[in-house]
Amino acid sequence: MAHAHEPKPRVGLFATCLVDLIRPSIGFAAAKLIEESGCEVVVPSQTCCGQPAFNSGDRATARALALQAIDAFQGVDYVVAPSGSCAGQLKKHYPELFAGEPDLARRAEAFSEKVYELVSFLVDVRGVSAVKARFDGAVTYHDSCAGLRELGIKTQPRKLLDSVEGLTVCEMKDPDVCCGFGGTFSVKYGEISDAIVSKKIENISASNAPTLLAGDLGCLMNMAGKLQRLGRPVKARHVAEVLAGMGDEPAIGEPARR
Amino acid sequence: MTIHVPTSPAFKDNAHEALRDPALQRALGNVESGFIAKRRKAADKLPEFEALRDAARDIKNHTLAHLDLYLEAYEKRVTEAGGHVHFAPTADNARKIVIDICKRVGARTIAKGKSMISEEIDLNGHLEAAGVTPVETDLGEYIIQLRGERPSHIVAPVIHLNRDQIEENFRAAHEGLPEDRDLSAPESLLAEARAMLRKKFLAADVGMTGANFLVAETGTSVVVTNEGNGDLSQTLPKVHIVLASIEKLVPTLDDVSQMLRVLARSATGQDITVYTTFSTGPRREADVDGPGEYHVILLDNGRSSMLGGEFREMLRCIRCAACMNHCPVYHAVGGHAYGWVYPGPMGSVLSPSLIGVDKAGHLPNASTFCGRCESVCPVRIPLPKLMRHWREKEFERHLSPATVRSGLKVWSFFARRPGLYRFATRIGMRALALAGRGKGRFASLPLAGGWTGTRDFAAPQGDTFQAQWRARAGR
């Protein structure tokens, strides 16, 4: 990743709406990691990738939001999101939205080619093999579905976590099984979503790791919310926060220390 | 007599009941612990498994692209072999053809191999109404019939039951079964069913099987079973009826052997099923056994209209059930909650096509889109994409719930106006953060009861990321 003589690649950080609204510390962790990999980070004005509309069958809104994002991220070399789900929408589903419309499809394709999920960007594009961070204790890692199955993210986060000083990864049973979040599914079919996350929680607890990590805030909020409702002591964090050495923020859903 | 009405419109209530049924939840544990590891092992053992999946997809795509030609060729071969092909555009047509054959030959009982098409057209209730007694000969289907239920899984019909429940059914239904007979081992249940069924095979006037594949090249129907009941159903009675849907066609026997290599591995993790039975026409002069009459009923029931549309890829399905075996929603609620014949992801795409999206509209929505189904489908059907197509149709036709539509409308108003969005969310998140400051999370939130009924919801940290970023960058 030594590109000292070349101009730094310009990375547009797509924070994702959940990170923007609920947990900005993930955005700052992502920016720090991208900068440390030798890139310049910009944050164009943004709202949402449109996935909730796309998955609710509202194609018109999904298309409008896709075009909005494509316009907002013109002029960057890469678009990076700290979420496999949102990156999957940008990378895999934007071109689908404009199939049969050559001009728009070409723009969507050109945009999609620049899109990466954060951790796979660091490892696969920037060649990062280790981070300078410390986190004391065991963690267990949940593979979020879209990152795993749409983008093939499995080894990259584990590779970087291995380089964090003081950290050990304790794999849970079925780390690649859905946590039951599913975006609006978690509210529309709350009872089923709860049944699925309840099984997940048992696997997380059985790993004996006091910390749960994942690459998607939606899944993390779902699992953290269930852990907390059941009074389990496991704390949930986004993998970027730990990799960026920002693992001392209050965990997801935990109060700020005063 | 039972005629089944789809309960798919009540999916949420069905799911609610299923989640509170301890016997069902106990039985569903077997899906996760059984099928998944076996399929993984079988797939890992075969280096060319992924390439075979591509080949299986391509064979089905090719056949569907020329389905008219292959159907004609198939019909010609069946006729040449002395059989009869009946085209049934609707379920009603198919039932009438079966009943007419039974009446003509004076049949009182019909021995049936496992057939999901028979379930699709709800044949048993209609047979009984016409005075013909259907006898299910697949062990699972036999149990289902005793219980007056429908299968909850397309490969393992009684996956929703535990052994003790089946023993109870046998003791209630089998006259002369001694009370002290030990039925605690699954094998003893099987032996008991086998003894009962053997008599019925011999007494049946008509035998019926489904088909896993129909071969255009030879006019052959192919059935895979693990019990051999398919063989008996089609060789002992004097009339054999094959009941199958039009998309079961494949061009050649070579194609069948390719398809068979992915079917059992995907379904049960077997390299191949115990029995693979090929039947072509009625008994020939030199044959020692076989039926005197051979009929094939080819059911359309909405499939030809799927051929020209966005759900065409669903017609590749070979009914292995890998999608439901790997589905977290199916694991949670089981097959009956889906409310009609086909459960799980394949049913969530197929059922709206067959009974209407107005009735089955919940099914394609009740998915997290985790994509595990697509990742194991032997013919690579993009199930989440097809479920999303149904959601689009529901949205276009204003079938999606009003709360969802109005929620989307408000959200999209802001999401499409970045300046206003940043302003409004900044105020909103600051207020929420303040409200949640003490605990860092909410135990209840208005409009999010579906979530906060069972889970806490994390409070925002404070200002939005965009606001903080701009403040730090001095912009």
Residues A58 and A114 reside in one and the same domain: yes
User: In sequence order, which residues have a C-beta less than 8 Å from that of residue B12 and are 6 or more positions away?
Assistant: A189, A191, B362
Residue numbers of A between 189 and 208 with CB closer than 8 Å to B: 189-197, 199
Span B202-222, average pLDDT: 96
Average pLDDT, chain A: 96
Distance in angstroms (rounded) separating the CA atoms of residues A1 and A38: 7
| pLDDT the model gives residue B109 | 95
| pLDDT the model gives residue B200 | 84
Residues A197 and A91 reside in one and the same domain: no
Mutant choice from B377, B455, B472 vs A, greatest count of A C-beta within 10 A? B455
Q: End of a domain among A85, A109, A124?
A: A124
Can you give the residue ranges of every domain in chain B? Answer: 8-304, 419-473
Beta strand segments in B58-156, E:
84-88, 109-112, 133-136
Beta carbons of A31 and A41 less than 8 angstroms apart:
yes
Residues A160 and A238 reside in one and the same domain: yes
Span B135-146, average pLDDT: 94
Residues A89 and A158 reside in one and the same domain: no
A5 lies in some domain: no
When CB atoms are compared, the residue of B332, B443, B465 closest to A192 is B332
Span B163-180, average pLDDT: 91
Span B263-286, average pLDDT: 95
| pLDDT the model gives residue A9 | 98
Q: End of a domain among A104, A124, A144?
A: A124
Mutant choice from A193, A198, A200 vs B, greatest count of B C-beta within 10 A? A193
* Helix (H) or strand (E) segment spanning residue B299: strand B293-299
Residues A239 and A133 reside in one and the same domain: yes
A149 lies in some domain: yes
| pLDDT the model gives residue B84 | 98
pLDDT digits (tens, 9 = 90+) for A179-223: 999 999 999 999 999 999 999 999 999 999 999 999 999 999 999
User: In sequence order, which residues have a C-beta less than 8 Å from that of residue A134 and are 6 or more positions away?
Assistant: A164, A165, A166, A167, A245
Residues A95 and A151 reside in one and the same domain: no
Residues A117 and A165 reside in one and the same domain: no
Q: How confident is the model at residue B447 (pLDDT cuts 50, 70, 90)?
A: confident
A107 lies in some domain: yes
Q: Which CATH number fits domain B8-304: 3.30.413.10, 3.40.50.10420, 1.10.150.120, 3.40.50.300?
A: 3.40.50.10420
Residues A94 and A194 reside in one and the same domain: no
| pLDDT the model gives residue B467 | 96
Beta carbons of B252 and B25 less than 8 angstroms apart:
no
| pLDDT the model gives residue B197 | 87
| Interchain contact A248–B (C-beta under 8 A) | no
| Cβ-Cβ contacts under 8 Å, A83 against chain B | none
DSSP A142-210: E--HIIIIIH--SHHHHHHHHTSEEEEE-PPSSTTS--S-TTTHHHHTHHHHHHHHHHHHHHHHHTT-S
Whether the predicted pLDDT of B475 surpasses 60: no
A35 lies in some domain: yes
Of B350, B264, B253, nearest to B302 (Cα)? B350
| pLDDT the model gives residue B187 | 87
| pLDDT the model gives residue B212 | 98
Express as a percent the part of chain B with pLDDT over 90.
85
Residues A137 and A108 reside in one and the same domain: no
Long-range contacts: B194-199, Cβ < 8 Å, 24+? B197/B135, B197/B137, B197/B142, B197/B229
Q: How confident is the model at residue B176 (pLDDT cuts 50, 70, 90)?
A: confident
**Cβ-defined contact of B456 to A28 (cutoff 8 Å):** no
Name residue, tokens 């969005």. Answer: B421
Express as a percent the part of chain A with pLDDT over 90.
96
| Cβ-Cβ contacts under 8 Å, B331 against chain A | 196, 199
Whether the predicted pLDDT of B111 surpasses 60: yes
For A23, B167, B431, B472, the CA distances from A250, given in Å and listed in that order, are 11, 55, 19, 21
Q: Which amino acid is at A98?
A: F
When CB atoms are compared, the residue of A45, A150, A199 closest to B422 is A45
| pLDDT the model gives residue B179 | 87
* Enclosing domain of residue A80: 10-124
**Cβ-defined contact of A149 to B372 (cutoff 8 Å):** yes
Residues A170 and A76 reside in one and the same domain: no
**Cβ-defined contact of B415 to A22 (cutoff 8 Å):** no
| pLDDT the model gives residue B175 | 87
Residues A101 and A135 reside in one and the same domain: no
Q: End of a domain among A124, A152, A183?
A: A124
A80-94, A111-125, B393-407: range with lowest mean pLDDT: B393-407
Residues A115 and A134 reside in one and the same domain: no
| pLDDT the model gives residue B4 | 86
**Cβ-defined contact of A20 to B371 (cutoff 8 Å):** no
| pLDDT the model gives residue B401 | 86
Buried (b) or exposed (e) across B418-447, using 16+ Cβ within 10 A?
Answer: beebbeebbeebeebbeebeeebbbeebee
When CB atoms are compared, the residue of A45, A68, A72 closest to B416 is A68
**Cβ-defined contact of A47 to B458 (cutoff 8 Å):** no
Distance in angstroms (rounded) separating the CA atoms of residues B252 and B418: 58
Beta carbons of B266 and B379 less than 8 angstroms apart:
no
Strands B213-215 and B206-209, sheet pairing: unpaired
Q: How confident is the model at residue B137 (pLDDT cuts 50, 70, 90)?
A: very high
Buried (b) or exposed (e) across A205-229, using 16+ Cβ within 10 A?
Answer: bebebebbbbbbbbbbbbbbbbbbb
* Helix (H) or strand (E) segment spanning residue A78: strand A78-81
- CATH code, domain with A111: 3.40.50
| Cβ-Cβ contacts under 8 Å, A46 against chain B | 418, 466
Whether the predicted pLDDT of B431 surpasses 80: yes
| Cβ-Cβ contacts under 8 Å, B470 against chain A | 43
Q: Directed axis angle between helix B402-415 and helix B418-435, to 10°?
A: 110
Distance in angstroms (rounded) separating the CA atoms of residues B440 and B458: 6
| Cβ-Cβ contacts under 8 Å, A15 against chain B | 465-466
**Cβ-defined contact of A46 to B466 (cutoff 8 Å):** yes
Mutant choice from A28, A67, A118, A188 vs B, greatest count of B C-beta within 10 A? A188
Q: How confident is the model at residue B198 (pLDDT cuts 50, 70, 90)?
A: confident
Span B102-129, average pLDDT: 96
Express as a percent the part of chain B with pLDDT over 70.
99
| Cβ-Cβ contacts under 8 Å, B332 against chain A | 192, 195-196
B113 — alpha (psi -120 to 50), left (phi > 0) or beta?
A: beta
- CATH code, domain with A148: 3.40.50.11810
A201 lies in some domain: yes
Average pLDDT, chain B: 95
Q: Which residue has the higher pLDDT, A63 or B236?
A: A63
Total number of domains in chain A: 2
pLDDT digits (tens, 9 = 90+) for A16-60: 999 999 999 999 999 999 999 999 999 999 999 999 999 999 999
pLDDT digits (tens, 9 = 90+) for A217-254: 999 999 999 999 999 999 999 999 999 999 999 999 99
The gap from C-alpha B417 to its chain's centroid, in whole angstroms, comes to 43
Whether the predicted pLDDT of B86 surpasses 90: yes
Say whether B237 sits in a helix, a strand or coil: coil
